[in-house]
Structure 1
Amino acid sequence: MPATPGFAHPEAIVSTEWLAAHLRDPALRIFDCTTYLHYETGTGRPYRVEAGRADYEAAHIPGSAFLDLQGELSDTASPFNFTMPAPEDLAARFAARGIGEGRRVILYARKSPQWATRVWWMLRAIGFDDAAILDGGFDAWSAEGRPTEAGESRYEPARLTARPRPGLFVGKEAVKAAIGDAGACTINALAPDLHRGENDRYGRPGRIPGSVNVPVSALLKPGRLTLKPPAEVAERFAAVGADPGKRILLYCGGGIAATLDAFLLHQLGYRDIAVYDASMSEWAKDPSLPIEQG
């Protein structure tokens, strides 16, 4: 497995070069995780969710299958998009798609790696560690002129037993309890205008009090969607007071962008990291929860 110097878990990141050389590895299970968010006004919801299946079927990395995050891997009984299902339920869903014992999983997405890191974080939360994201995703693969195929691929079901890691996903009470706690750092992965309260996409504009802003765009190289070098990533988190000794709580609009920040903090060796699953989709609509602007 190729190494990414400076990251604590380089096995969880693969390059397009590595994947191209290992496409025929029978143990690999490669998945396109793309989802699109269409931002709307006047609908009472922050966005419309569209699985990226059509683009996948038009062109994808050879042999890769498709994962529908909202349709297949989320708790559809929840009032919020993308809610994490119960661990045993999620393990069964992953197993049905070919993820399990003896399989090496490679996750990629289009337009943003946050969809791949969301699935990666979910797998980690149920105890599956043999997964990696493709650095640069389909965008880098395509830009390099690497082969693609159309249609749909599927894998045979696998066996996967959930071994949950409690605390990787948290709810509003844990986030509320961290407000004013010197031993915690709450990070917003949304764009700066949302953090400052200049955009009311999720309801009440603003942020969780005391939280700091590390938007996903600050962690990626412009134009290529590849991860910035470890030193630059570490500097960005250090600049907002995200000390490795603190408990780090991450949020965004719906627990997606936050997983890219979480993934990179994990890569930097941080140990106490949690994602607020419902994020501002819940917080901004609950008047009992505090909010700040500016």
Structure 2
Amino acid sequence: MTPLSVSPRWLHDHLNDDHLVVVDATNHLPVPTDGPYVPESGAQTYRAEHIPGALFADLLGDFADPAAAEPWTAPDHERFAAAAGALGIGDGATVVVYDQHDGFWATRFWWHLRYEGFDQVTVLDGGLPAWKAAGFEVTDVVPEPTPRTFTGTRRPGLIRSTDEVAANLDDEGTVLVNVLDEATYRGEVDTYARRGHIPGSINLPVFTLRDPATGALRPVEELRAEFENAGLLDTDKRVVTYCGGGIAATGVAHALALAGRDDVAIYDGSMTAWAGNPELPLVTGESPR
């Protein structure tokens, strides 16, 4: 069974395994001084330096729906399978995914592979910063992938649309989790053109799950206790996470999987889609829990 997270030392020791496919899934999200954010591909910084043998997954391009209004929207299964297979992700492969930042681009690709039915995927804890801090080399040599056939079957339970979230706002069997910072959740920051959060959702900021000094996840037992306190390990309830654009939400889903809850769904459009529709409700203030 593939672990959900591996250390830089583990990856270094297994880097030359024939079945291993290492993937850099970085995007960049510069914070604008005014106007909406404009996401950028991480391809250029990947080419400048990456873990030896790592390939680049373009979450804004090959692995996104080109017709969608929001960036990073999950494409149809055929598009995803073709892009994954071209990178060498498929039957017989084990994938280690990382990014150059806080790990949430990596967990997005981890979630997306699982959504498409591929389980042999793990996340490099701490990403490229942790790899470099451990003293391991980086390179600018871009390798050629060895294509494989991707044969996964989608798991519809791991994703939610705007319509599905809106239709279930009063569902007591669902816990909707906003993973943004508290100020944004409470509506004190005008981040997505409208202030506040989706009615009924609780707040669990994703950045609190990591050690700020190392970028690595806090001990799983600590996280499990926090999730238990929030009611997120109650298997009688469905858990749906959301954020700004469906990226950071996967960080909480990954941490919950480490704590034993691997059925968490992602609201793919998140606040970009929700706040973009003035007919959908938003509330401000404290978390209901």
Structure-2 change in CA distance of 1:172 and 1:257 (3 Å) = same
Which among 25, 33, 36 is matched to residue 33 of structure 1? 25
Contact residue 214 and residue 236 of structure 1 kept, 8 A: no
Q: Distance in 2 between matches of 1:248 and 1:178?
A: 12
Q: Distance in 2 between matches of 1:106 and 1:218?
A: 23
Contact residue 251 and residue 258 of structure 1 kept, 8 A: yes
Structure-2 change in CA distance of 1:98 and 1:272 (3 Å) = closer
Would you say 1:102 and 2:92 are equivalent positions?
yes
2:283 corresponds in structure 1 to 292
Superposition deviation, residue 271 in structure 1: 4.9
Superposition deviation, residue 10 in structure 1: 6.7
Which whole-Å deviations, capped at 9, do the CAs of 1:130-158 have from their partners, x for residues lacking one?
Answer: 11110111010111111111132231211
Structure-2 change in CA distance of 1:178 and 1:281 (3 Å) = same
1:115 corresponds in structure 2 to 105
Superposition deviation, residue 56 in structure 1: 1.6
Structure-2 change in CA distance of 1:272 and 1:65 (3 Å) = closer
Which whole-Å deviations, capped at 9, do the CAs of 1:40-97 have from their partners, x for residues lacking one?
Answer: 2543x2x111112222222211111111110221012101010001112211111111
Contact residue 254 and residue 277 of structure 1 kept, 8 A: yes
Aligned residues: 284
Q: Distance in 1 between matches of 2:2 and 2:78?
A: 28
Q: Distance in 1 between matches of 2:78 and 2:259?
A: 29
Contact residue 88 and residue 162 of structure 1 kept, 8 A: no
Q: Which runs of 5+ in 1 are unaligned?
A: 1-8
Superposition deviation, residue 178 in structure 1: 3.0
Would you say 1:267 and 2:258 are equivalent positions?
yes
Structure-2 change in CA distance of 1:41 and 1:286 (3 Å) = farther
Would you say 1:14 and 2:6 are equivalent positions?
yes
Contact residue 24 and residue 98 of structure 2 kept, 8 A: yes
Superposition deviation, residue 281 in structure 1: 0.3
Q: Name the aligned partner's letter for residue 274 of structure 2.
A: W
- SS, match of residue 12 in structure 2: helix
Q: Distance in 2 between matches of 1:13 and 1:90?
A: 23
1:137 corresponds in structure 2 to 127
Q: Distance in 2 between matches of 1:119 and 1:171?
A: 18
2:140 corresponds in structure 1 to 150
Which whole-Å deviations, capped at 9, do the CAs of 1:173-229 have from their partners, x for residues lacking one?
Answer: 221233232211110111111111111221211000111111111111112111111
1:283 corresponds in structure 2 to 274
Contact residue 100 and residue 127 of structure 2 kept, 8 A: yes
Which whole-Å deviations, capped at 9, do the CAs of 1:75-133 have from their partners, x for residues lacking one?
Answer: 12101010001112211111111111111111001121110110011100111111111
Which among 158, 164, 167 is matched to residue 157 of structure 2? 167
Structure-2 change in CA distance of 1:42 and 1:153 (3 Å) = same
Q: Distance in 2 between matches of 1:270 and 1:135?
A: 18
Which among 81, 90, 112 is matched to residue 91 of structure 1? 81
Superposition deviation, residue 231 in structure 1: 1.5
- SS, match of residue 29 in structure 2: strand
Which among 46, 57, 78 is matched to residue 67 of structure 1? 57
Q: Normalising by structure 2, what TM-score? A: 0.94
- SS, match of residue 38 in structure 1: coil
Superposition deviation, residue 39 in structure 1: 2.0
Equivalent positions of 1:45-64 (< 5 A) are: 45=36, 47-64=37-54
Q: Name the aligned partner's letter for residue 131 of structure 1.
A: V
Superposition deviation, residue 236 in structure 1: 2.1
Q: Name the aligned partner's letter for residue 269 of structure 2.
A: A
- SS, match of residue 119 in structure 2: coil
Pick which of 54-63 and 136-145 moved more: 54-63
Q: Name the aligned partner's letter for residue 282 of structure 2.
A: I
Q: Distance in 1 between matches of 2:230 and 2:277?
A: 27
2:71 corresponds in structure 1 to 81
